[in-house]
Structure 1
């Protein structure tokens, strides 16, 4: 970490020691309640000049105290009572993995969605057998209204709930008929257009990132990988140092859904961008992931942390599109390949799609072939 950060941390730890009077009780275990009370007292002190709002000062105090005392093995563990549906979710996840063959990302998303609803439906120790379809409908409607979800998102939530309750019915955990009663809005296949910047906007985006700051050097390499190879954010986050074969000029990505390796030729401009990042920016780290955070503590980036990296820079260039995350660059890559004359099968293979149906949405942006269809001479037929 930077020296200034270390100095602030050290000053805060001195305040923790003084507020909790750790020297007077060297062998005692400190509870979270003691830390919160000490944080309240410390945050309400008169600091000259005032630096942070008292609530933010309290949060900093508690965070540093918990980390330090846990390191010193003097923090009283907080035993959270196990939720009654946790074991059922574990069985459900195992079923989706072993019987359905779903990807870990899909399983995690479904379990997260179901857990959020069960936390509300089974509040107060209620059993799944007490849950009614009217309660599920009301909770689903409330979640939709709060989140302003589109129909596709509502259908995803309803599908996850329906899958879980169908599994629960087979095990006798809930009343029969609940799964079949969970309704969702109808979503038509290929009803929307892929939202993406044009390839000229992508080139403008990459050309605008000529700063020499560490974050700009790293972000340019990330954006080039996303735009040229059309890979998902999670696939970029999982990219390992050993996945780049410099001698063979190839790069391998671990697919999120197929769970296999996908080999691409290493484009020279991307290789140069990654080399610059590795030499000038990436810190020495035991982590094998290529892309790490630029601020200490240095750790691998995730799909979630990649989203703001892309959105922040893409919003400044492509103001007309709806979505500015990493998937927008995946759509831009597919659209470029379509416009260059590649078939849907070739585009699907490049993107790692299992089915041609998934790639068919890009037929709507194939303007060259659409113009040929529109100009087809019907020979006077009505």
Structure 2
């Protein structure tokens, strides 16, 4: 006999199909094609809950979705891949409960990165955070580099206990054949850090750090790459602002071009950083940890208002300003997301610049300001450089490629 399970939540019946579709439409979270597929999975979920005597709301968790998809696969004798969309459909339904104020359970998103796989790497992670004060991105990068090195040692039938300087040299020579010089130098820096950790924690009696040789990086061997300001304007004009994604992308690109933000500064912006009454914007420089207050220029304010009203999904829980435009509407977390935005619209604009990295608009802004007569020391301070000499690279760009350009801030 099937057991009946009362719904433990005091918010009434499950959402109707019309309520679900309305929330998805207003939320701009699910397209028409996906909506039809998700509604079918929700119908299957309700059959599952009816047959098993379960409360629908209680199943709207990551574990609940896995149990449901497993049940469906076994019941219908299909391949697990066929039920791949079930979890996404249930998450979309979880969001409907949230928007309707019906207290859905926590979905419990999986962590973006897995924890270190060994006790040694976990200790190294703790050392980087506690003793070196390294940010999460740096910790993740160094753990990856050390992971490559430890695998190299295993192939040579060695361990970190028995490694010699010749093993480190062989590893870096191998890296130099696979990666650019800057990447190999970065990996060498991680190996030095790991060697210091082994010595500082008493795991090794030898500190190999000072003997690790990395490729020489000539300072400003080449000027930093930037776009001519007329190309920056073409890039901005190429953004289609008739849809939510275009409104977000335009606001992002405009802020980078206007203020010289790097990707790290842009993705860290929060709603609370905007002071609408005072027309100011507070910015955290990730490399120095310094806070800057900048004027919220009217053209930027207008773009942000349009994005917040017509681009940023309503009922988004995160306070970060720029978010992904698909479920679960998480904040942008890496510079690669910014690079994709620049690259996509540069293609539309027909730009064929040899370099379109995530910092290209930062470099373009700095070069333009210097070309217009701004004091390089002031620009260096605004951009948050720890070394005032860093601005010399931008001076080289300005004098070589932007000599005759003097254009206003785009609107």
TM-score range, shorter chain: 0.7 to 0.9
Q: Among 323, 333, 347, which residue is 1:292 paired with?
A: 323
Shift of 1:158: 0.6
CA distance in 2, matches of 1:9, 1:167: 50
Matches within 5 A, 1:1-382: 1-2=29-30, 4-9=33-38, 11=40, 42-43=78-79, 57=82, 82-94=117-129, 96-98=131-133, 105-118=137-150, 121=153, 127-146=159-178, 149-174=179-204, 176=206, 178-284=208-314, 285-303=316-334, 304-317=336-349, 319-367=351-399
Q: TM-score, normalised by structure 2?
A: 0.70
> Cα gap change, 1:193/1:173 in structure 2, threshold over 3 Å: closer, same or farther?
same
CA distance in 2, matches of 1:66, 1:300: 17
Deviations 1:47-70 (A, max 9, x none): xxxxxxxxx6476579889999xx
> Cα gap change, 1:80/1:109 in structure 2, threshold over 3 Å: closer, same or farther?
closer
Shift of 1:271: 0.6
CA distance in 1, matches of 2:116, 2:298: 54
Shift of 1:87: 2.8
> Cα gap change, 1:246/1:218 in structure 2, threshold over 3 Å: closer, same or farther?
same
Task: Please say if residues 226 and 326 of structure 1, whose CA atoms lie closer than 8 Å, have aligned partners that are also in contact.
Answer: no
Task: Please say if residues 231 and 351 of structure 2, whose CA atoms lie closer than 8 Å, have aligned partners that are also in contact.
Answer: no
CA distance in 1, matches of 2:168, 2:82: 40
Task: Please say if residues 193 and 364 of structure 1, whose CA atoms lie closer than 8 Å, have aligned partners that are also in contact.
Answer: yes
Equivalent in the alignment of 2:17? none
CA distance in 2, matches of 1:227, 1:296: 28
Task: Please say if residues 368 and 402 of structure 2, whose CA atoms lie closer than 8 Å, have aligned partners that are also in contact.
Answer: no
Match of 1:189, SS? coil
Match of 1:130, SS? coil
Deviations 1:80-101 (A, max 9, x none): 9941322321243135535xxx
Shift of 1:6: 4.8
> Cα gap change, 1:17/1:82 in structure 2, threshold over 3 Å: closer, same or farther?
farther
Deviations 1:153-183 (A, max 9, x none): 2111111111221231233323625334422
Q: Which piece of structure 1 moves more, 170-179 or 278-287?
A: 170-179
CA distance in 1, matches of 2:269, 2:375: 28
Structure 1 residues without counterparts, runs of 5 or longer: 45-55, 74-78, 372-382
> Cα gap change, 1:208/1:235 in structure 2, threshold over 3 Å: closer, same or farther?
same
CA distance in 2, matches of 1:250, 1:322: 35
Shift of 1:347: 1.4
Task: Please say if residues 226 and 397 of structure 2, whose CA atoms lie closer than 8 Å, have aligned partners that are also in contact.
Answer: no
Equivalent in the alignment of 1:51? none
Shift of 1:112: 3.7
Match of 2:282, SS? strand
Task: Please say if residues 227 and 332 of structure 1, whose CA atoms lie closer than 8 Å, have aligned partners that are also in contact.
Answer: yes
CA distance in 2, matches of 1:314, 1:370: 19
CA distance in 1, matches of 2:329, 2:151: 34
Shift of 1:320: 4.0
CA distance in 2, matches of 1:202, 1:348: 21
CA distance in 1, matches of 2:218, 2:346: 29
Task: Please say if residues 240 and 289 of structure 1, whose CA atoms lie closer than 8 Å, have aligned partners that are also in contact.
Answer: yes
Task: Please say if residues 158 and 184 of structure 1, whose CA atoms lie closer than 8 Å, have aligned partners that are also in contact.
Answer: yes
Aligned length: 342
Q: TM-score, normalised by structure 1?
A: 0.74
What do you get for the CA RMSD once the two structures are aligned?
Answer: 4.1
Equivalent in the alignment of 2:99? none
Task: Please say if residues 121 and 131 of structure 1, whose CA atoms lie closer than 8 Å, have aligned partners that are also in contact.
Answer: yes
Structure 2 residues without counterparts, runs of 5 or longer: 1-28, 54-62, 94-104, 108-113, 404-411
